[in-house]
Amino acid sequence: MLTDSHCHLDFPDFDGELDEIVARAADAGVARMVTICTRREGLPRVTEIAERYPNVWFAYGIHPMRVAEEPMIEVAELVEAARHPKMVAIGETGLDYHYTAESADAQQESLRRHIAACRETRLPLIIHARDADEDMARILREEHGKGAYDCVMHCFSSGRALAEAALELGFYLSMSGIATFKKSQELRDIFAAAPLDRVLVETDSPYLAPVPHRGKRNEPAFTAHTARVGAEVFGVSEAEFAAATEANFERLFPKAARTEAAA
């Protein structure tokens, strides 16, 4: 069994196909999915999807590239949303200086508010980081010093220094289809140096389809291809890698495990 810890089932790429998408995931051994809401207007749709499918949970936050387009998120807003039994994480939030460096200050404030909501709800944080490694490491450390929280570096593709900073804080690194690309040996080496008990797998679908589907629409079923590469990176069997990442998911997202057991 595998869990796609980060996908976007509400995106128009999947309109009219969700039953088939979820069924193909199950056929591929992907038994659970966390679909991510990245904007206020998307919350009703993401909630409805999670309520419709027993094996789908959701997270809510404001994506850093959208921070300048919306009113600044309030901690209370995130805390209230987290009352839903199938909301299992805060985010994705973070810093993206590749496309939206002009809103860096607002992104940093938004990130800190999301972290405050994590402390209050005891839900984990989902981080997006692009071309902002230094500021990201600094803020994560500063905020952790104010009070502990759990976190996953989603779709990790940053440098070794940020990986080490995250791992030092007890955080997790999530492996996406990027790790399967031929040019990604440096990234695979970063994962290989991480403890296996700090690794998750994801698709970030509909983006970043792994080999052999690179360039096509990604979907949760393709988590299996990334997991196969993950097993090679860590020098373990596919079954061992799957078991490890499942244990990691349940440790980081205990609310998902609790609601699944109660269903």
Percent with pLDDT over 90 in the chain = 97
Cα–Cα distance, 59 to 35 (Å, whole number)? 7
Name the binding residues: 6, 8, 92, 128, 154, 204
The angle, 0 to 180 degrees and rounded to 10, between the axes of the packed helices 104-121 and 133-146 is 30
Per-residue pLDDT for 9 more than 70? yes
Task: Please write the tens of the pLDDT for every residue from 145-203.
Answer: 999 999 999 999 999 999 999 999 999 999 999 999 999 999 999 999 999 999 999 99
Instruction: Say if CB 155 and CB 130 are below 8 A apart.
Output: no
Report which DSSP code applies to 216. S
The backbone torsions φ and ψ at residue 146, rounded to the nearest 5 degrees and listed phi first, read -80, -20
Name the binding residues for a divalent metal cation: 6, 8, 92, 128, 154, 204
- Report the pLDDT value the prediction gives residue 257, as an integer from 0 to 100: 83
CATH of 2-262, one of 3.40.50.2300, 3.20.20.140, 3.30.2350.10, 3.30.750.200: 3.20.20.140
61 — pLDDT class (breaks 50, 70, 90): very high
Percent with pLDDT over 70 in the chain = 100
- Report the pLDDT value the prediction gives residue 32, as an integer from 0 to 100: 97
Predicted TM-score (pTM) above 0.85 = yes
Beta strands in 97-245 (DSSP E): 125-130, 151-153, 172-175, 199-201
Report which DSSP code applies to 213. S
Instruction: Say if CB 164 and CB 156 are below 8 A apart.
Output: no
Per-residue pLDDT for 260 more than 80? no
- Report the pLDDT value the prediction gives residue 263, as an integer from 0 to 100: 65
Per-residue pLDDT for 261 more than 80? no
DSSP states of 173-208: EEE-GGGGSTT-HHHHHHHHTS-GGGEEE---TTS-
Q: What are the residue ranges spanned by the domains of the chain?
A: 2-262
Per-residue pLDDT for 27 more than 80? yes
Per-residue pLDDT for 65 more than 70? yes
What rounded mean pLDDT belongs to the chain?
Answer: 97
- Report the pLDDT value the prediction gives residue 258, as an integer from 0 to 100: 83
Tokens (6 digits) for 201: 């797998």
